[in-house]
Structure 1
Amino acid sequence: MSAASDRLTDALYGLGWSTVKKLPEPVAGALGRTLADTVWKRRGKSVLRLESNLARVVPDAGPERLAALSKAGMRSYMRYWMESFRLPAWSTERVRDGVEIKDIDRLFDGLATGRGVVLALPHMANWDLAGAWLTRARGVPFTTVAERLKPETLYDRFVAYRESLGMEVLPHTGGTAFGTLARRLRDGGLVALVADRDLSSSGVEVEFFGGTARMPAGPALLAQQTGALLLPVSLWFDDSRVMRGQVFPAVPVPETGTRAEKTSVMTQAVADAFATGIAEHPEDWHMLQRLWVADLDRGPE
């Protein structure tokens, strides 16, 4: 990406945060749907990749069903952006009323034990809103990790945005994130990680919707090393202003096996929970990148 393109990208995101949050909510929602439909109709690389991924999730879907799913998926993805641009201006009451999570007691009961909790989430619905709900509406601080984006100024915007919502944000690269996360967990804290796409060379191979994918080892390794609970979560939108979610049962640490073997078993369990949530709400899974090993091995798109 050129320096001029970097500056343009940063400026566009800055415009979103400064302008969209000032729009009335119905106007912002309508704008998001219009933008999503326009992008979907162009059938660009991201839309085609989303449709290809959804074909794995819903293997019996014909072309019309896949097209409808990808259109709904782009609307869901744009809803995420419209809400995220507006989140800093939302009241605590709006954040509180905008989220309902089933079995959330699994999280709070885990924290009450003092052993720390790792939440593992896929790229579903609006994970930033879920975070704001925890910090602002429920008073639960947590630490997360952010992918380093280009340009650096855009990464800085995302860090500042998430910190404004009450999150502690660590960079994915640099080598210090794992140790800091482990310390937070040993202190009885909460760590939340988006964990359905590997961003490193150390991902764990899992069976996922009939194919092999790689997912991060971090959640399982943190649970093993610190004794924290590992709780997979799924999120989805409904037709109202509410985002809903599900906290799955804790993934146990196997009693036997090497660390690598335990990590493999636990990461597969996380992938299975993700698959359950994604299969129930495929249109809210925002996976616009290649994920499965067979797709990654095909070279540049």
Structure 2
Amino acid sequence: MSGLEPFGARLRRAMDERGPLCVGIDPHASLLAEWGLNDDVAGLERFSRTVVEAVADRVAVLKPQSAFFERFGSRGVAVLEKSVAEARAAGALVVMDAKRGDIGSTMAAYAESFLHKDAPLFSDALTVSPYLGYGSLSPAVALARENGAGLFVLALTSNPEGGEVQHAVRSDGRNVGATMLAHLAAENTGEEPLGSFGAVVGATLGDLSTYDLDINGPLLAPGIGAQGATPADLPGVFGAAVRNVVPNVSRGVLRHGPDAVALRDATERFAAEIRRAVTPS
């Protein structure tokens, strides 16, 4: 065992102490250009370092998008390793947005890359795709439990194409997205104060009252800011499960860089709006 508390317990404490905001680190080429940075490893490193230094000491979660680092090869991955370590050292939990999904030994290797305590890219949680069957995630579930880490499973995503799979109806009358939520609820049974196995559920989806979102685990909610959802929308989308929502904002914060003070100010504005929206009156 890693000696770490389970991810769910650590996340609950971080959300209670810092608020539930998750800030994405998405250094895509257009954003580097907006910051006046070159689309190269030096620009990537400057971007990532600036975000981590500006906000990692005040948000519950940072979520680097692995693809934007991987595109620079091994040097980009080295920047990602450093960013993860520095973010965690500053007190933020790191959710690696890599959306890995495969079967057998390949899934086990993906899990080793991000969820083993001794891995250079060890993260507090990993986003994963269950669409080779939920059971294909078993190696990641097992390693996450062993190392005090967590998973966020794609369940009800906000991209229009997602409905082809997630809204498909099974022979038992339940759609695939609802089935993934049920699997996660089972993983989290009996866990306190919060399970470590969460779902990715888009904040832009509107009323989700036909789904049972009470999975005793966190709900990572992309879509706040540039994608059109607002903090005020969260109670209407997530209902009674809103206390366990981790709203993700990426461009809404990142567009204020490279000025660190502006990044912090934007982070604090979103955090305050989210806190007001999700706190019972």
**Fold match by TM threshold 0.5:** no
Bigger relative contact order, structure 1 or 2 (CA pairs below 8 A, ≥6 apart): 1
Which structure: greater helix fraction? 1
Q: TM-score, with normalisation over the residues of structure 1?
A: 0.30
Max Rg structure: 1
Q: Structure 2-normalised TM-score?
A: 0.31
